[in-house]
A and B are shown apart, each in its own frame.
Chain A
């Protein structure tokens, strides 16, 4: 691990109360800044660096990031209040989740960065919330069943009518489970299970950064009277107990945070690999090419038959995606509610791919066969996480 990465871990550990960070001589501050930026934690780093006596030159580099985070936090809050007031006037229930639900557990809520505001609504309130957002000056720019997105200047809302709508690398019905959010969404145990399921989704699909693990630490600190045995049982039912154990064991290794859920001793090789990957992934794992073939690996992990059969089935699905997937893609919106148009959407898709991305499309179709080693390595990583 590079000195800048070790220092970054020390800064997070310091911020989470795990001991004062030392700032070694000769550090490449620009490299540290780039790490903090990649993890969306510049403000956190600024505050700890300032409190540990970093040079004014270093602080000047980080201070604008701190400003930016405070500015965005204040504006998100103002926009959320405006939306909630209008919704309340019309008797529309809202349940904010993800970052908004966890930020107040952070020692400094303004430093919990978030790209958007995720809010759960009832399906029947789609039109009502749409009218409110438009009246508040927001533009809707993605429209599918799963999530409607609204932007106004630098604030983005995502309005979901399901808290979770994907599957992980198993056949458990997470969507059905988290559809109980309206009854249980304010229970800390349920919220913690959601945080972990959301992390599992990112790890399965691509990757994630350290901020998610800080969420776990601060959330658990803020709810230290949780019924841990109950949470363990719930995680067991969700098939995430082993995964939670991995996450909290990493929190212990990185931040010195002890949790009753850290029921696992980390394999040093796994810890080193994951730590390194976390740095490369950035906050959502979108930058790292190592995450290629993640979708295929997830499907292989879910499948029960031999590899070649799963690979064939994946290629078939890529050529003939099911209606449930196609209706969610904005440019095939014409099939939404008209499943009989599915063959037309397939033909359009094949034609578009042949004309515009023939090489990429062919590579994607052949991926399960040409990248078998990558897929299997990725699948082993998912297993190592306990997923």
Chain B
């Protein structure tokens, strides 16, 4: 799975083993792109939440519902596997 920026569009592309497990390509908005990047770089939900809190200055309780919804959507579409989440 790779996140690409092409001509101003942020696109999550299924490559390798991910092909067929999730949509071939999905466009992410700015928030989605930021969350995806943080999740990939931090590796766990807890660490991603901490980093999002540091970067945005928003309290954990306001960030958590949005991040959980996002992760659930990614899992539902096949972008995240149980162990990833």
Residues of A within 8 A of B (CB): 47, 50, 66-67, 70-71, 74-75, 77-78, 82, 108, 110-111, 153
Contact = CB atoms under 8 A, between A and B. Distances in A.
B60 interface: no
B24 A71 contact: yes
A-B pairs, top 4 by smallest CB distance, nearest first, are A74-B13, A78-B15, A71-B25, A47-B7
- Specify which of A66, A67, A108 lies most central, judged by the most chain B CB atoms within 10 Å of its CB: A67
A78 B2 contact: yes
Given A67-B11, A67-B25, A74 B2 contact: yes
Interface string B51-62: 000000000000
Chain B CB within 10 Å — which of A70, A108, A153 has the most? A70
A196 B34 CA distance: 44
A220 to B, nearest CB: 23
B4 A108 contact: no
B7 A153 contact: no
Interface in B1-49: 2, 4, 6-7, 11, 13-16, 19, 24-25
Contacts of A71: 13-14, 24-25
Contact of B4 (A50, A74, A111, A153): A74
Contacts of B14: 71
Nearest to B26: A67
Nearest to A50: B7
B6 A78 contact: no
Nearest to A110: B6
Interface of B: 2, 4, 6-7, 11, 13-16, 19, 24-25
Task: Point out which of B6, B11, B16, B25 has the most chain A C-beta atoms below 10 A from its C-beta.
Answer: B6
Contacts, number: 34
A110 B4 contact: yes
B19 A70 contact: no
Given A71-B25, A78-B16, 14 more contacts: A66-B7, A67-B11, A70-B4, A70-B6, A70-B13, A70-B25, A71-B24, A74-B15, A75-B13, A78-B2, A108-B7, A110-B6, A111-B6, A153-B19
B40 to A, nearest CB: 15
A47 B8 CA distance: 10
11 contacts: A67-B25, A70-B4, A70-B6, A71-B14, A71-B25, A74-B13, A75-B19, A77-B15, A82-B16, A110-B4, A110-B6
Contacts of A110: 4, 6
B1 to A, nearest CB: 9
Nearest to A75: B15
A111 B15 CA distance: 17
A46 to B, nearest CB: 8
Contacts of A153: 19
Nearest to B15: A78
A153 B7 CA distance: 27
A71 B2 CA distance: 10
Contacts of B6: 70, 108, 110-111
A162 B15 CA distance: 30
Nearest to B13: A74
A111 B19 CA distance: 20
A108 B5 CA distance: 10
Contacts of B15: 74-75, 77-78
B7 to A, nearest CB: 5
A233 to B, nearest CB: 39
A349 to B, nearest CB: 41
A153 B19 CA distance: 9
Nearest to B16: A78
A47 B19 CA distance: 25
Contacts of A82: 16
A75 B18 CA distance: 11
Contacts of A74: 2, 4, 13, 15
Contacts of A70: 4, 6, 11, 13, 25
